[in-house]
Structures are given as structure tokens and as C-alpha cells.
Amino acid sequence: MENFDLTLIDWSRGQFALTAMFHWIFVPLTLGLAFIIAIMETIYVRTGNEKWKTITKFWAKLFGINFAIGIATGIILEFQFGTNWSNYSWFVGDIFGAPLAIEGIMAFFLESTFIAVMFFGWNKVSKGFHLLSTWLVAIGANLSALWILVANAWMQNPVGMAFNPDTARNEMVDFWAILFSPTAVNKFLHTIASGYVLAAIFVVGISAWFLLKKRNTVFAKQSIVVATVFGIVSSVFLIFTGDESAREIARVQPMKFAAMEALTEGRTNVPLIAIGFLEQPPTSTEEGELLHGDFAFKIEIPNMLSYMTFLDPNAYIPGIKNLVNGYHNPRTGEDVLSYREKIQRGKEAITTLKMYKEALRAGDTEKKEEYGARFDDPEWVESTFRYFGYGYYNDDNLAGLVPSVPLSFYSFHLMVILSGHFLALFIVMLIFVLRNQLEKMRWLLYVAIWTIPLVYIASQAGWVLAELGRQPWVIQDLMPTLAAVSQLDSSTVQVTFWLFAVTFTTLFIAEIKIMITQIKKGMTGGH
């Protein structure tokens, strides 16, 4: 690691995180609100009730404001793969670029084409065609998310590829394996479900504000009915997909799973930490050994983590120290390599590639065939090359291969706890609005309003877990983040970081002001 500019790496990571987190402020609302609007317009078309048209147009205006700013941040985010992460783009561009290209050509084209009809086609096209356009915008937005999430899922679990030593690049060999990998499927379903929940909270919270102000009360109640039903279904789906995602993480990213559960030592009959506060996360000695971490306080549910992970209350789950030091898995009978062994195999893979390239340049056919044969040997690829990324590390600081346990643990548990709150809020709000008692429950209306920032926090926490939880990898086991950055001067990245920070903050403040102004105008024609 001594040959890497750690300052450049940290600033590059910081800039990408800044852009991604700002972009993710806008994306989930787009995903969910598009469908809520489509549902409301469907009610209008089926009933012919002009009130539903007014409601639809009100929420569509807020959707449009959010959509426009989301596009600006998304474009900047994708450009950074070429500017700040050129080594990554070279190493896996043939694979990673394919879903992004499809997203741009197919999904975004569909979305952007029909959004003009959705906003400007009222009274200019038939009701049916306008409704179709609204649904196609919603579908297009979610298809955009599909391809981006497929690309991200591949980084978490690289499948459907083969390494070409001649170009030193990974190449796609099975598109369908990438598209339908369990990681991609779970990530897509869980992420869009989180967007649906966020949008439902957004509609419920703003409608609650109208009820508190005693303005547009009929429209607010009708919006709450649609949003709470949509939110309940989405919340149940979110919990189900979250459960499936956690199982998939335990299978393909066991270190991330151990970190998000703060599980230091592996064991059978592992309890689920419902609530906990870390006293001391696992740390590393100068010799690279991990010291035990512990909790200052925790509430456990016996055997539950083992059961939820492997549907067996007696199942063994490895902890952080087991994964670093190697262990025998009694559940599978497998002997899992230690990180030191993986580092040695990774260095062997890097050396083999280096020797192959030197033989290629020197025209040494014998050496070229000798080293090239290893990349054609499935057994060597599986036993050695799969640990290629570990070769960038030395075994004197194994904690560098462990993600931040506090960030992983707290982001995961915050997301889970808040998800329960959202579901409970939807149910309670629906009950009271159907009983026509919601306006009397002022405390509940305030809770709904203050839940809007909470749902954004939960959404951001999910991505903190997804991305920081897999560190130090930009591609799991194949490429560490430190090897993925472009060879830039760190001062250049620092300047652009602050430029982006100022720009995005300005855009964010502008969106909030425009949103508030539009909300205060209310739903024209309401009671």
C-alpha cells in the first residue's frame, strides 16, 4: 500500500460519496412518486372526478421539480467513472458500462420522451394516452434504476465474466447471469421498495400539513388514503426484500454481514441484536491481529440471527475475527482461507499477470503460454485469481480489510428500526383517515410531517451500509478502492470536491424553497 497516494484516494472517495448521496436525495422520490401519481390519474380516468385530476397535477408539479434536479446530479455522478476512477473503468468497463449504456439508451429515453406528454399534454391528448404516458414515465424511471442497480450489484458480487490477460480487463461472458444474479434481483427490489416507502411518507407528511392548516382538507385526505395503502404494501415488500437481501449478503459478502451485525466472534445459535450501542469496535494491533470488540448495551433475541440468516436457529455464522484469521465452517464443512492466505494468493495472481505481460512484450512464446495457461485453468482462476484484489495488501494491517463496524452496524439498525416506524405510521394514519378522525389527531399529523426527514435518513443509511460495508472493495475481492482511482493530483480532486459541495448544496436549498413555495400555493380548487 506504500505506493498509493492515500490523500488522493480519500478525496476521490469523498467526492464520489458526496455526489452519490446528493443524487440519492432525489432518486427515491422519483421512483415512488411517479407510481403514486399514475395511480391517482388512473382513479381520475376511471371516475371522471375532476378533483382527482387536480390532485394528480399538484403532486406531478412536485415530481417535476425533484426529477429535474435529480438528472443534473446523476449526470455528474456517471462522469466521475471516467475522470476519477479511470483504472476501475478500464478494468471492468466492458461489464459495468453495458447496463449503464442500456439505461441511457432505453430506460431514460422512455422516461424523458413521455414526461413531456405527462406535463404538457393535459387537454391536448386523450385521457387514455395521457394516462399511458404517466405510467410509462413511472416504468421508465424504475427501469433506469434497474440497470444502475444491476451495475452496482455486479460490483458487490462479480459474476458472468472472464479475465482477459492480453488486455488486463474483465469481459462479459454471460449477460443474463449478471442481470438475474440473486444480488442484482434483491438489490433492485429492495431499493425500489425503499423509494416507494419514501414517496408515500412524502405524500402523507405534506398532506398532514394541509390538514393542520385546515386547507385543501378533502384533497389531503384522499391523498393520504392512496399514499398509506401504497405505503403499507411497499413497506411489507420492503421488509421481505430486506430479509432476502441480508441472506444474500451473508452468502456473498460475509464480512459486510458480520460488520453490520457487529459480530466479532463466530458461533452457533447467534442472537439478533435488536438494539445495541458499541463500546469498542474491533481494532487492530501493530502485528495485524484483531482485538475483540464489545457492546456497552444491547437487547438480544436468542437464536434469531441464525434462524433469519439460514432458517436454522442452530446455524453457525462467522464473525469478523473468523473471516480474517480463517475458520472451519461446521455448517458447510468448508475450510475458509484466512486473509493472509488470500493475500498470498492475490500476490501470486498479480505476479502471474505481470510475468505474462512481460513475456508478451518480449515475444517469449514459451513463457507466454506457461503463464497464459493459468488464466485458462478454471481451477486456478477459482483458487487463486478470485483473490486478485487481496494482492494489493500486506498482512501487517489486516484491519484495513475490515469495513467500519460502527458505521455498518448503526446504519443497518437505524434503517431497520425506522422501517418499522414507517409501517406503523401508515397503518395508524389509514385507520384514522377512514374513520374521519385524522384531523382531531394533531399529534399524529406532526409525527407524519417529522417523519419526512426520517425517511430520507433511513434511505441514506441503506446506501451507507451498501457502499461502506463492502470497503475496501470497489469490486468485491477483485479490485480494492485504492487501485481504482485515476492518477490525478489530489489538490485537483479537493478543488472539485468543494465546487460540487457548494453546487449541490445550492441546488438542494433551491429545491426545498421551490417545493415549499409550490406546497404553500396548495391544490387549486380545493376545499
pLDDT tens digit sequence for 508-524: 898 899 999 999 988 76
Higher pLDDT, 396 or 475: 475
* pLDDT for residue 293: 61
Cα dihedral 51, 57, 62, 63 sign: positive
- Residue 526 binned pLDDT confidence (cut-offs 50, 70, 90): very low
* pLDDT for residue 132: 94
pTM (two decimals): 0.92
Higher pLDDT, 300 or 5: 300
- Residue 285 binned pLDDT confidence (cut-offs 50, 70, 90): very low
80-84, 337-341, 347-351: the lowest-pLDDT one: 80-84
4-8, 283-287, 291-295, 447-451: the lowest-pLDDT one: 283-287
Residues 6+ apart with CB under 8 A from 276: 262, 295, 297, 298, 299, 409, 413
* pLDDT for residue 5: 77
* pLDDT for residue 280: 66
From residue 439, alpha-carbon distances to 203, 209, 212, 433, 526 in Å are: 16, 10, 7, 8, 16
- Residue 73 binned pLDDT confidence (cut-offs 50, 70, 90): confident
Q: What is the mean pLDDT of residues 232-260?
A: 94
* pLDDT for residue 292: 54
Where does residue 138 rank: exposed (0-12), middle (13-18), buried (19+ CB within 10 A)? buried
Report CA 524 to chain centroid distance, whole Å. Answer: 37
Q: 523: closest CA among 13, 62, 7, 42?
A: 62
Q: Residue 220 and residue 208: Cα distance in Å, rounded?
A: 7
* pLDDT for residue 497: 92
Higher pLDDT, 167 or 39: 39
- Reported as half-sphere exposure (CB side, CA atoms, 13 A), residue 477 has a value of 22
Residue 260: pLDDT above 50?
yes
Higher pLDDT, 192 or 81: 192
Q: What is the mean pLDDT of residues 129-156?
A: 91
154-163: string of b/e by CB count within 10 Å (b at 16+)? bbbbbbbbeb
Give the rounded percent of residues in the chain with a pLDDT score beyond 70: 95
Residue 228: pLDDT above 90?
yes
Q: What is the mean pLDDT of residues 112-135?
A: 89
Residue 391: pLDDT above 90?
yes
